[in-house]
C-alpha cells in the first residue's frame, strides 16, 4: 500500500450478531486490505470482547471524525463466506423484515471453523484466553468419483473386459454422473480398491472431498428411469425450460454497497415466477426434477425448498435416484460439522443441488438458476422466532436477484400466491389430473350431529367410517386416519373442583400422554406425572376430555385386531422415526396409520385406498382469519393420500358442520370455488386484500407488557399515515394465548392497502423499540402467519 493510501485508511462496515439495526465501522489494517471483501467473516472488538461479524461493504469515507474507530482484528476465512448475490439478498431481506442485518447473517451462516480460530490465535489476532461466541466445526473426508469423458461405455472398456464389480460401479457412476465412496460401498464389497483399479485404467477420476454422515445418505438408492410426462406435464416442463433459456444472466442486484429501502413485497420484482397448481398426485415432482436436471446439465445450481425435510424422505430418494449423491440435504438434524461441510460444498460449486426446509433459502448455491418451493402454502415456511422471514416470499426475492427461474408448487395454493397469479404477477401452470390413470378419490361427508358411535362404541368412529375401515382391511388395503391432536386426551379436568388443568407457565391446557405417564404442555414442554393430584384442590381423580392420536391408536388396535396399527406424530417421529414408519407403511407392514398433520404431507403410498378424517372442524375453530384456508389445505392434502396405486381411493370426512364452504370444496375437489368464497370473506380487511404487520410484546409482568404495547400503539397512531385510515392500528389487545413460557403477551396489528405507508409506520415503531423497552421484549412480524 502507498504512503498516501496508508494516510487515508479504508473502512469496513461490519454486521454483528447483536439486536441493533445498524452496521459497525472499523478501520482496515493495511496487511488485510486486499483480503477484506464484502461477505468476508471477520473478528472485531466490541466493548471488552471480540466477536465474529460479516463485512457488508467497504468505504473510504470516514463516518464520524469525532469517533475513535477500532481496527478489524482478523479474518476468519480466506475466501468470502457469502457471495455477492447471497449477501445482497440477505441484506435486502433483513431490511424488508426490519431485522438487524447482523442477526440475519448469523441465521444464514454455518458454525465458526475451528481451524480458523487456531490460526487467529497463532498470529495473535485472538489471545489464547479469548473466545468467540458461536459453534465450532471440524471436517471429515471421502473419495468423490467421476467418469472420464470420451471413454467407451460399460460394454466396451478400452483395455479389456470389466469384472462384475467394476461393471456394477461403472453403471452406477454413469447413471448418476458422479458419486461418492460412501454411496458406492453398499453396492459391492471392497469398493475402494475396485475404484482405484478403475482409476488406474483411466475410466474414472478420484479426488478427496469433505462429507457428512447424513442419515438421508445411509442407504444406497438405485438410479431411476424418468417417467414419460403426460400432456399437461409436457406443457409445464416446456414453459419452464423456455424460461430457463431466457434467464442467462442475473437481474441487477441491490448492491450491499448502498443503503436499502425496499418499497415493495419481494414478489414485485421481475422476472415473473411461476405458480404450478397441480392436484394431488399430478406429478409436480417430475416437473421439478426435469427443470433441475436441465439446469444441472448446463452447469447451473438449483435449490428445492420443502416444508419439513424429515417428512419427505421419498422426495430425497427421488433426487438421489435421479442425480446421485451430489446433492446437499439441509435439515435441522445435521450436526454443526455436517452443516459446515454441506455449506462449503455448495459455496465452492462442488455440489450444485440443495434441498431443505425453510433455512435452506440461505444455501450458498453457486450460479443459482432454479429455485423451487414445494407445498408453497405450508405455514412452516414462516420462521416464528428471531429472524421472522417467510421462505416462500424470500424465494421469490432471491430468484429475482439471482436471475433464476422460480416455481411455487401446490395442490392447494395459498391465497396470496393464487391472487398474484390472478393479477399476472405469477405465471399459472396447471396439472388438472393425476399423472397416472387414477382419478381423484371419492369423498363422503359424515354429519357428526346425526351419525353416532358405530359398533365399536367410540364417538368418532361412526358406523360409515367403521364399515369403510373394515372393507379396506378385508380387501388387503391400507388406511390413514387423520386426527390433528396428539396425546391420549387433549385436556384434563379435575373431578373434584371441575378445574381445567393448565400449564403453570402458559395459558393452555395440559395433554395426557399415557405411554409416557405424564400430562404435558405442547408449548413449553412442562410435564408432571399423570398421577399427580389437582394443583388447586388436591383431588386425585382427573376426567379426560377429547380424543388424541394415542387414544385413537389404542382404540383401533382393539376394534380391528389383528390389524397392524401405527402412529405418526411428534411423539413417534423423533430421530429417524418418520422414515422408519413410512418405510413400514410403504412395505405394507402397517395396515392402519393414525396421525396428526404429519400424515398430510406428500407421502406416496400405493397401498393406501382409504383416508378417514375423524373431526374436520378442529382447525375451523382457531381464532385466525386463515382458519378456513388451513382447514381446506389440510383436508385436501390428506385426502390426496388415497388412491395413488392401482385401486381407487375413498375419503370419509366427519364433521359437525359439513355444510361449511371449505369442507364442501374439499368434497368436490374444487380449489377455485374455495378461493372465490374465501377471497370475498377476506375483503373486509385481511391478506391478500390488505397488508399486515404484527407487533408482539411480552414481559414477565402483565403491567409491563401493557405499558410497552400502549406506548408502541401511541407511536403508531401519532404517525401521519394513520390519518384517513391509510394505516389502521388495531389494538393493543391480549394475544389469543395470553401467557406463554411464563411471559404475558400483548399484540398490536397494523393494516394497510399499500405497503409504503405501512412500512413508514412500522419504521417509527422499530425506532422506538431500538431506543429500549426495558424488561419487556418487542418484535416486529412483517406478513405474519401465526396469529396465536
- Asked if residues 144 and 207 have their Cβ atoms less than 8 Å apart, the reply is yes
pLDDT score of 122: 55
Class of 3-137 per CATH?
alpha beta
The domain 442-486+547-681 having CATH identifier 3.40.50.300: the answer here is yes
For residue 80 the three cell numbers come to: 468470502
Per-residue model confidence (pLDDT) at position 186: 72
- Please list, residue by residue across 418-434, b when 16 or more beta carbons sit within 10 angstroms of its beta carbon and e when fewer do: bbbbeeebbbebebebb
pLDDT number for residue 148: 80
pLDDT at residue 275, rounded to an integer: 98
Query: Which CATH number applies to 231-431?
Result: 3.40.50.300
Q: For domain 691-782, say whether CATH 3.20.20.140 is its number.
A: no
pLDDT of residue 254: 40
Q: Nearest CA to 169 among 151, 152, 192?
A: 192
**Is this model's pTM higher than 0.75 or not?**
yes
| Residue 158: predicted pLDDT | 47
pLDDT mean values, one per 10 residues, the chain (788 residues): 51 93 93 92 90 93 81 89 94 96 92 61 52 48 74 51 85 78 79 88 81 62 87 97 79 41 44 92 96 95 91 84 88 77 88 94 96 97 94 96 96 97 96 90 95 80 95 97 92 90 93 91 91 86 89 93 94 77 92 92 89 93 93 96 92 96 97 98 95 97 98 97 91 95 97 96 96 94 94
- Going by C-alpha positions, the residue among 655, 692, 658, 660 that lies closest to residue 673 is 660
> 231-431 and 442-486+547-681: same fold?
yes
State the pLDDT at residue 250: 52
Task: Give the DSSP per-residue string, 529-541.
Answer: ETTSPPTTT----
Domain boundaries, the chain: 3-137, 141-210, 231-431, 442-486+547-681, 491-545, 691-782
Q: Exposed/middle/buried for 35, CB within 10 Å: 0-12, 13-18, 19+? A: middle
CATH architecture of the domain formed by 141-210: Orthogonal Bundle (1.10)
Rounded Cα–Cα distance for residues 159 and 28 (Å)? 59
Find out whether the peptide bond into 271 is cis, omega within 30 degrees of 0.
Answer: yes
Which residue do the cell numbers 430457463 mark?
A: 244
For residue 246, give the nearest of 264, 271, 220, 229 by alpha carbon.
271
Per residue in 310-322, pLDDT tens? 767 788 889 988 9
d(CA 408, CA 217): 27
Amino acid at each position: 500500500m502507498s504512503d498516501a493510501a496508508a494516510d487515508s485508511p479504508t473502512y469496513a462496515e461490519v454486521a454483528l450478531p447483536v439486536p441493533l439495526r445498524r452496521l459497525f465501522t472499523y478501520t482496515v489494517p493495511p496487511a488485510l486490505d486486499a483480503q477484506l471483501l464484502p461477505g468476508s467473516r471477520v473478528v472485531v472488538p466490541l466493548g471488552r470482547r471480540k466477536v465474529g461479524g460479516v463485512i457488508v461493504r467497504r468505504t473510504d469515507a470516514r463516518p464520524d471524525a469525532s469517533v475513535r474507530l477500532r481496527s478489524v482484528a482478523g479474518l476468519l476465512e480466506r475466501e468470502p463466506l457469502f457471495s455477492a448475490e447471497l449477501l445482497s439478498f440477505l441484506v435486502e431481506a433483513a431490511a424488508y423484515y426490519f431485522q438487524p442485518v447482523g442477526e440475519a447473517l448469523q441465521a444464514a451462516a454455518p458454525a465458526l471453523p475451528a481451524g480458523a480460530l487456531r490460526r487467529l490465535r497463532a498470529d495473535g489476532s485472538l489471545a489464547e484466553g479469548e473466545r468467540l461466541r458461536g459453534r465450532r466445526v471440524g471436517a471429515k473426508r471421502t473419495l468423490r468419483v467421476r467418469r472420464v469423458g470420451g471413454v467407451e461405455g460399460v460394454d466396451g472398456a478400452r483395455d479389456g473386459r470389466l469384472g462384475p464389480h467394476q461393471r456394477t460401479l461403472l453403471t452406477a457412476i454413469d447413471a448418476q454422473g458422479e458419486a461418492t465412496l460412501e454411496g458406492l460401498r453398499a453396492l459391492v464389497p471392497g469398493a475402494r480398491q475396485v475404484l482405484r483399479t478403475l482409476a488406474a485404467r483411466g475410466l474414472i477420476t478420484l479426488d478427496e472431498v469433505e462429507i457428512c454422515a447424513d442419515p438421508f445418505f445411509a442407504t444406497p438408492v438405485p438410479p431411476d428411469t424418468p417417467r414419460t410426462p403426460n400432456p399437461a406435464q409436457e406443457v409445464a416442463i416446456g414453459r419452464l425450460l423456455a424460461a430457463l433459456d431466457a434467464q442467462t444472466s442475473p437481474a441487477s442486484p441491490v448492491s450491499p454497497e448502498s443503503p436499502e429501502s425496499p418499497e415493495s413485497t419481494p414478489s414485485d420484482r421481475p422476472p415473473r415466477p411461476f405458480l404450478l397448481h397441480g392436484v394431488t398426485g399430478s406429478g409436480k415432482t417430475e416437473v421439478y426434477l426435469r427443470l433441475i436436471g436441465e439446469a444441472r446439465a448446463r452447469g447451473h445450481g438449483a435449490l428445492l425448498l420443502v416444508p419439513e425435510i424429515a417428512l419427505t424422505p421419498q422426495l430425497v430418494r427421488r433426487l438421489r435416484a435421479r442425480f446421485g449423491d451430489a446433492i446437499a440435504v439441509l435439515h435441522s438434524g445435521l450436526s454443526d460439522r455436517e452443516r459446515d461441510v454441506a455449506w462449503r460444498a455448495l459455496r465452492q460449486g462442488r455440489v450444485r443441488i440443495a434441498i431443505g426446509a425453510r433455512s435452506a433459502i440461505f444455501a450458498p448455491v453457486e450460479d443459482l438458476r432454479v429455485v423451487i418451493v414445494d407445498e408453497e402454502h405450508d405455514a412452516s415456511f414462516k420462521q416464528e422466532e428471531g429472524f421472522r422471514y417467510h421462505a416462500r416470499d424470500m424465494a421469490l426475492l432471491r430468484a429475482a436477484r439471482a436471475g433464476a427461474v422460480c416455481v411455487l408448487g401446490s395442490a392447494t395454493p395459498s391465497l396470496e400466491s393464487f391472487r398474484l397469479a390472478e393479477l399476472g404477477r405469477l405465471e399459472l401452470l396447471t396439472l388438472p389430473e393425476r399423472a397416472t390413470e387414477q382419478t381423484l378419490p371419492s369423498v363422503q361427508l359424515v354429519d357428526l350431529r346425526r351419525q353416532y358411535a358405530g359398533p365399536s362404541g367410540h364417538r368418532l368412529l361412526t358406523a360409515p367410517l367403521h364399515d369403510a375401515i373394515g372393507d379396506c382391511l378385508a380387501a388387503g388395503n391400507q388406511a390413514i386416519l387423520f386426527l390433528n391432536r396428539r396425546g391420549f386426551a387433549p385436556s384434563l379436568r379435575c373431578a373434584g373442583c371441575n378445574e381445567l388443568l393448565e400449564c403453570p407457565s402458559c395459558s393452555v391446557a395440559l395433554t395426557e400422554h399415557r405411554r409416557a405417564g405424564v400430562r404435558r404442555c405442547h408449548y413449553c414442554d412442562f410435564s408432571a406425572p399423570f398421577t399427580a393430584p389437582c394443583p388447586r384442590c388436591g383431588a386425585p381423580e382427573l376426567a379426560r376430555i377429547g380424543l388424541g392420536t394415542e387414544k385413537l391408536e389404542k382404540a383401533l388396535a382393539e376394534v380391528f385386531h389383528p390389524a397392524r396399527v401405527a402412529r405418526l406424530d411428534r411423539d413417534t417421529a423423533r430421530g429417524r422415526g418418520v422414515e422408519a414408519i413410512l418405510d413400514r407403511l410403504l412395505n405394507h407392514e402397517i395396515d392402519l396409520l393414525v396421525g396428526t398433520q404429519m400424515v398430510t404431507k406428500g407421502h406416496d403410498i400405493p397401498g393406501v385406498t382409504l383416508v378417514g378424517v375423524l373431526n374436520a372442524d378442529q382447525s375451523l375453530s382457531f381464532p385466525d382469519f386463515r382458519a378456513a384456508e388451513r382447514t381446506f389445505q389440510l383436508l385436501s392434502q390428506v385426502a390426496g393420500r388415497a388412491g395413488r396405486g392401482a385401486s381407487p381411493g375413498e375419503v370419509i370426512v366427519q364433521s359437525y358442520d359439513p355444510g361449511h364452504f371449505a369442507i364442501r370444496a374439499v368434497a368436490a375437489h374444487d380449489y377455485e370455488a374455495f378461493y372465490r368464497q374465501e377471497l370475498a370473506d377476506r375483503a373486509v380487511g385481511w391478506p391478500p386484500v390488505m397488508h399486515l404487520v404484527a407487533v408482539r410484546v411480552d414481559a414477565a409482568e402483565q403491567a409491563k407488557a401493557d405499558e410497552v404495547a400502549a406506548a408502541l400503539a401511541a407511536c403508531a397512531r401519532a404517525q401521519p399515515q394513520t390519518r384517513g385510515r391509510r394505516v389502521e392500528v388495531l389494538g393493543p389487545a391480549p394475544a389469543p394465548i395470553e401467557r406463554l413460557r411464563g411471559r404475558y403477551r400483548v399484540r398490536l396489528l397494523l393494516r394497510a392497502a399499500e405497503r409504503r405507508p405501512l412500512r413508514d409506520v412500522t419504521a417509527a415503531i422499530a425506532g422506538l423499540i431500538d431506543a429500549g423497552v426495558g424488561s419487556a421484549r418487542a418484535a416486529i412480524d412483517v406478513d405474519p402467519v401465526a396469529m396465536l
